Amino acid sequence: MSSENTEFEDGPPPDPFEAELVAYLDGEVDVVAARKVEARLANDPEARARADALKKSFDMLDYLPKPEPSPSFTTRTLDLVPAIKAATASGSAPVRPAVPRAAKPAPAPTPSTSMPVAILDEEPPRPPRRGRPLLRAAGVCVAVAVFAVVGYFATAAARPFLFHIRDKEHDEGKVEVDARVIEHLPLFAVADDISFVQELAEPKLFGDEPAVAYDTNLKIPHGDAADKSSGKHTEGLTKAFRMLPSARQAEIVKLDHDLYAKEPRERDRLFRALEVYALWLERLPDAERRGVLAAATPALRLGIIHSLREQQWMDALPPPLRQKVAALTNPKEKAELIQQWKDDEAVRRERLAFVRQHAEAFAANKSPWPFDTDAGRKEVIEFARATFRIDDNKHGRLSAEEHAEYKRTLAAAERDGTWVWYGLTVYELNRAHPYLPEPAEPKLMIAETTDLPPDAVARLVAKKVVMPARLRALGGRWPEFALEAQRELALTKINPMPQLGPARLTDFKEPVRACAKELFPKMTSDEKAALARLEGKWPEYPREFVKYAAKYDLPVPGVSLPGPPKKWDATYGARGTRPTN
C-alpha cells in the first residue's frame, strides 16, 4: 500500500509545535523534546490552552458508546467459513465471504408485498448456499420466503423468514398437510419444538409481555375459528411448507400436534408467546435476526434471544438509570444493581397483573370472593388471627413489617371495603409462612427447648450444635421452633431421629382427620402408599399431606386458607403460575 505520502494526501504539513504537543500528550517524545515542550507550556498561556483543548477533545471520545458485537456474531462468522473452503477448493475466483449488504445471501431483497410469495429455485445464481452447514444440520428453517402475518397483529406487513429450500428431487411423495399447520406456518417456521415455545413463554423471555401475561381480551385467531385466509395465501404457505426438508416438516407437524394437545388456556398462552416472539423477530435488525435463526441448536437460539432481550431491556432503561449502571466499574455491583431493578420490576408487574385481573371488581366496587359475604370475611380474619398469631405480641409468626402491613390492609378493608388488598395480603403471607397441621396432643407441639424430648436435648447440647440464641429467638413459635430444632438435630446425624411433631393421621386434630377422610378416597393407591411411607417423619408427613390436599383442592383446616385452594390461587395468584415458596 502507498505509505509515505500521507502528508500530502491529508493536507498541509501540521504546525510543528502542534505535532510536538500531540506527541508529547501521547507520551511519544523523548526526554529532551519533552523538556522543550514543558518549558514552552510553562511560559506560554496560549500553548497551555491549546494543549488543554487537545487533551480534552481527545478525552471526549470516551463519551462514544462502546460498541459490542451482536450475540450471534461468532455463530454467523463461523457459519461462513466452509464457504471460503469451498470457494478456494474449487479454484474459482474467491467469493467475497461477508459480502456487502446488497449481495448478502439474505431474506428476499424487497419483502414489501403483503401477499405471501415463495421464492423458488429460479433465483439468480447464488453464492454457495451449501456453505451454511450449521443451519442445514440443525434443520433450522432457512430459505427465502415471504409470509403474510397471521394473527391479531395482522397488518399489511410481510414477514421474511429464512427457510431451507428443499431439493427438487425430494419434492415427490407429497403428504397431506393439515390446513391448521399451514395456517400457522409463519409462526411455526420460527420455532423449534414445544419446549422451545414453552421457554419463549417464560417471563424472562416473552412471558411478561402484556399480550402474553394478562391481556386476555386480545383474542388470537388460532383456533378452529381462525380467520379464513384467501386461497392464494394458503397456496403460498403450502408451497413453502412443501419446500422444507421432510425432517423439518415433521418437526412442524409435531409442534402443531403438541400445541393442540395442551389445554386451551395454556395453548392460548403459548400461541401468544409465539406471536410476540415472531413479531419481535421480525422487527430485529437483519443481522441479529439472522443470528437468531442461524443458531445451531434450540438452546443456543434461546441463549441468543435471551441476550438480545437483556440488551434491549438495558437500552430501554431511562438514561439516568443507564448512567448509574455505566458509572459502576465492578461487574458484580453492576449485576446486583440490575438484578435489584429487575426484582422491583417483577413485583410491580405482579401487582399490576393482579389489578388488571380484578379490574371489573374494582370498577364495580365489589368485594371479591371470599369477602363477598360476612361469614367469608370473618372466617378469613379468624384464620389469619390463629395461624399467624396476630394478637400474640411475643410469639407472632409475622415480622414487624408484615404484621403492620396486615393490620393496615385489614383496617383499610373494614373502613373502605378494599377487601381485595386484604385478600392478597393474607394469601401472600400464607405462602410466605406455610403452616402445618397442629398435633392433637399438646406435648407434640414443640415450641420451647423444654418441650424437646430429653435425649434430643442432650444430643444437641453434647454436640454443641444448639445455637441457643437462634433457637431461643424462635422460642414459643410453632412450627418455626420445631423446624429449626429438627434442622439442627439432623446435622448431628442423630439416630433414630426423634419425632418433633404430629407425623401420622392419628396425631392430627379431629378437623384434619375429617379432611383426610375426604382426601384419601381421591388419592391414587401410589400416592397413598407414598404418604404412608412417610408416617412417623415430621415435617415430611404433614407437608406431603397438605400438598395432596391442595392437589385435590381440599383446604386443610387450620392450615390452608378457608375455601378451595385453587380458588384462592385463581383469585389472588397473579397468574396462577407463580412459583411456590
Partner 1 sequence: MSIGHTSSQMALRDPDIRLMLRVRDDDAAAFGELVERFQHRLVAVMHHLVGSADEAEDLAQEVFLRVYRTRKKYTPKAKFSTWLFTIANNLALNSLRDRKRRPVLPLEVRDSGPLGTRPTESLAPTRDNPPAHNLQQQELADIIRTALDGLNERQRMAIVLNKFEDMNYADIADVMGLSTKAVKSLLSRARSKLRDALQDYIYMDGEAPPGEDVCTETDSGDAGAEPI
Binding track over 14-33 against partner 1, x by CB under 8 A? xx--xx-xxx--x-x-----
CA angle 114, 117, 121 (to 5 degrees): 160
- Least Cβ distance, residue 133 to partner 1 (angstroms): 12
Residues in the interface with partner 1 (CB under 8 A) total 55
| Omega before residue 370 within 30° of 0, cis | yes
Does 13 sit near partner 1 (CB under 8 A)? yes
Neighbours of 385 (CB within 10 A): 14
- Least Cβ distance, residue 548 to partner 1 (angstroms): 50
- Least Cβ distance, residue 294 to partner 1 (angstroms): 13
Query: In this chain, which of 41, 54, 218, 281 binds partner 1, going by CB under 8 A?
Result: 54
- Least Cβ distance, residue 137 to partner 1 (angstroms): 14
Which runs of E-coded beta strand occur in 39-194?
117-118, 144-148, 158-162
Region binding partner 1 by CB under 8 A among candidate stretches 51-59, 191-199, 518-526, 536-544: 51-59
Interactions with partner 1, residue window 363-382 (CB under 8 A) = none
Interactions with partner 1, residue window 194-233 (CB under 8 A) = none
Does 360 sit near partner 1 (CB under 8 A)? no
Q: Indicate the length of the chain as a whole number.
A: 581
390446513: which residue's cell?
179
Q: Give the residue with the Cβ less far from partner 1, 37 or 489.
A: 37
Q: 3-class secondary structure for 60-87? A: HHHHCCCCCCCCCHHHHHHHHHHHHHHH
- Least Cβ distance, residue 196 to partner 1 (angstroms): 24
Query: In this chain, which of 68, 169, 172, 176 binds partner 1, going by CB under 8 A?
Result: 68
Asked whether 512 and 556 are in contact (CB, 8 A), the reply is yes
Instruction: Give dist(CA 266, CA 225) in Å, integer.
Output: 17
Q: Give the residue with the Cβ less far from partner 1, 19 or 42.
A: 19
Q: Which cell goes with 436?
A: 402445618
User: Helix, strand, coil: what percent of the chain each, to 5?
Assistant: 60, 0, 40
Q: Give the residue with the Cβ less far from partner 1, 66 or 493.
A: 66
CA angle 120, 124, 126 (to 5 degrees): 95
Query: In this chain, which of 33, 39, 42, 98 binds partner 1, going by CB under 8 A?
Result: 98
Query: In this chain, which of 173, 231, 264, 319 binds partner 1, going by CB under 8 A?
Result: 319
Does 41 sit near partner 1 (CB under 8 A)? no
Binding track over 99-128 against partner 1, x by CB under 8 A? -xxx--------------------------
Query: In this chain, which of 45, 67, 231, 579 binds partner 1, going by CB under 8 A?
Result: 67
Asked whether 161 and 252 are in contact (CB, 8 A), the reply is no
Query: In this chain, which of 34, 41, 47, 80 binds partner 1, going by CB under 8 A?
Result: 80
Cross-strand partners of 117: 146
Query: In this chain, which of 35, 90, 97, 297 binds partner 1, going by CB under 8 A?
Result: 97
Region binding partner 1 by CB under 8 A among candidate stretches 12-20, 130-138, 201-209, 258-266: 12-20
Q: Give the residue with the Cβ less far from partner 1, 304 or 420.
A: 304
Q: How far is CA 406 from CA 399, 425, 427, 480, 483, in A?
A: 10, 7, 11, 20, 24
Query: In this chain, which of 171, 215, 286, 372 binds partner 1, going by CB under 8 A?
Result: 286
Instruction: Give dist(CA 492, CA 481) in Å, integer.
Output: 17
Does 130 sit near partner 1 (CB under 8 A)? no
Q: Give the residue with the Cβ less far from partner 1, 7 or 553.
A: 7
Residues 6+ apart with CB under 8 A from 536: 499, 503, 504
Asked whether 169 and 249 are in contact (CB, 8 A), the reply is no
Q: Is the dihedral of CA 332, 333, 338, 342 positive or negative?
A: positive
- Least Cβ distance, residue 209 to partner 1 (angstroms): 25
Q: Which cell goes with 449?
A: 427447648
Binding track over 323-342 against partner 1, x by CB under 8 A? x-------------------
Q: Give the residue with the Cβ less far from partner 1, 3 or 495.
A: 3
Q: 3-class secondary structure for 213-244? A: HCCCCCCCCCCCCCCCCCHHHHHHHHHHHHHC
Which residues bind to partner 1, rule: CB under 8 A? 1, 3-4, 6-7, 9-11, 13-15, 18-19, 21-23, 26, 28, 52-54, 56-58, 60-61, 63-70, 73-74, 76-78, 80-81, 84, 88, 94, 96-98, 100-102, 285-287, 319, 323
